[in-house]
Amino acid sequence: MSAAGGGEPEAWAAWAARLGPRLAGRVTAREPLSRHTTLKVGGPAGLYVVPADLEDLRRAVAWLEEAGLAWRVIGLGSNLLVPDEGFAGAVLTLQRAANWIEFQGTRVRVGAGFPLARLVQETAKRGLAGTVGLAGIPGSVGGALAMNAGTPRGEMKDVLESCLYLTPDGRLVEAGPDELGFAYRRTAFLDPGRRWIAVAAVLRLSPAPAESLRAELREYLAHRNATQPVELPNTGSVFTNPPGRHAGRLIEEAGLKGERLGDAQISPKHANFIVNLGQARMAEVVALMRRARERVRETAGIVLEPEVRWLCGQEELRRLLDGPAPHPASRAPGAGEGSRAV
């Protein structure tokens, strides 16, 4: 059954009143998830849970399991799509429970709630090389672990020594990247049957002159800022790159760079990003994804696979992309329907 849909406000307020006193952290009913994604689109979560620490996280998950409520863990909301109607379950964040970093020579222990951008800055400042290829990714360490995030210059598995994760039954397990199936934008954390929560990582870096690392970082970020739509709310990379090809280039060659539907637009700066021009709806974002996949299939014979994650599950996203085309709700005239930027 789909977990989309926010549910009745009174029911979620009652659930929040039951869970809240059991935790040291914060529980909010019907929290708009548009506040917690880089695209700034999406409806409310039935419950939004901010555990205070690891034991709080354990208690929250155990309670949600016993209550039979669907739950998801999110990072800083990059590469995350939330339905317009929201999520009928609990969304947990580790921004309090696992927002820490420790340096032990060339090894770095870091919590899953720590921002990836800060990790890159802190390691460069201390003369530790290996993370510059992760620069400019606006997510958390946990999200980067789950996705094996990266760029052409490197990905998480290149520096990961081990990862600590929590299972739904409350066990803490430590494993290496090979055991966790790290591959291009894939890990065991994405398996919906496991529901493992990455809570911390140990990274193995190498010494290098701090000034040269900071200069390299500045140069790399300047390039990313010039070639990606960082000035607007955006999805991050929408599709994975097919072997030997670039998804953005395929979309551009299909004539869709700048394509717009309502306030959702395939970025004129980088065609593998969808941006929110103000009041975009998720239905419009999904419709643009469908259009890009169909056009690239027609022009290049390649089926693009989504890199973005659908909060309610990838199978539901596949149904939306491959099934009969939905009809986004109508907008007022002049809302940019079907137009293309020039």
| Dihedral sign (CA 187, 193, 194, 196) | positive
Q: Any idea which residues carry the catalytic annotation?
A: 185, 237, 307
User: Is there a single domain that holds both residue 215 and residue 117?
Assistant: yes
For residue 188, the domain's CATH number is 3.30.465.10
Domain end position, chosen among 38, 61, 93: 93
Instruction: Name the domain count of the chain.
Output: 3
Q: Which domain holds residue 160?
A: 101-223
Residue 4 covered by a domain: no
Q: What is the pLDDT of residue 8?
A: 80
User: Is there a single domain that holds both residue 152 and residue 243?
Assistant: no
Domain end position, chosen among 200, 223, 246: 223
User: Is there a single domain that holds both residue 119 and residue 210?
Assistant: yes
Q: What is the pTM of this model?
A: 0.91
User: Is there a single domain that holds both residue 185 and residue 295?
Assistant: no
Q: What is the pLDDT of residue 327?
A: 56
Residue 3 covered by a domain: no
CB 224 within 8 A of CB 117: no
User: Is there a single domain that holds both residue 196 and residue 240?
Assistant: no
Residue 2 covered by a domain: no
Q: What is the pLDDT of residue 26?
A: 98
User: Is there a single domain that holds both residue 152 and residue 167?
Assistant: yes
Q: CA-CA-CA-CA torsion for 238, 242, 246, 249, nearest 10 degrees?
A: -80
Tell me which amino acid residue 286 is.
Answer: V
For residue 341, the domain's CATH number is 3.90.78.10
CA distances (Å), 114 to each of 55, 96, 117, 131, 301, in order? 18, 9, 9, 14, 40
Q: What is the pLDDT of residue 336?
A: 43
Helix (H, G, I), strand (E, B) or coil at 287: helix
Please spell the DSSP secondary structure of 110-136, one letter per residue.
EETTSBHHHHHHHHHHTTEES-GGGTT
Q: What is the pLDDT of residue 7?
A: 63
Q: What gap in Å lies between CA 309 and CA 210, rounded to an integer?
A: 35
User: Is there a single domain that holds both residue 248 and residue 331?
Assistant: yes
Q: Looking up tokens 């954390």, which residue turns up?
A: 189
Domain end position, chosen among 59, 93, 127: 93
Q: What is the pLDDT of residue 4?
A: 63
* Residue-level pLDDT, tens digit, the chain, 342 residues: 346 665 688 999 999 999 999 999 999 999 999 999 999 999 999 999 999 999 999 999 999 999 999 999 999 999 999 999 999 999 999 999 999 999 999 999 999 999 999 999 999 999 999 999 899 898 999 999 999 999 888 999 999 999 999 999 999 999 999 999 999 999 999 999 999 999 999 999 999 999 999 999 999 999 999 999 999 999 999 999 999 999 999 999 999 999 999 999 999 999 999 999 999 999 999 999 999 999 999 999 999 999 999 999 999 999 999 977 655 444 433 344 443 332
Nearest CA to 43 among 79, 7, 76?
A: 7
Quick one: tokens of 312? 């309610």
Nearest CA to 142 among 104, 179, 97, 183?
A: 97
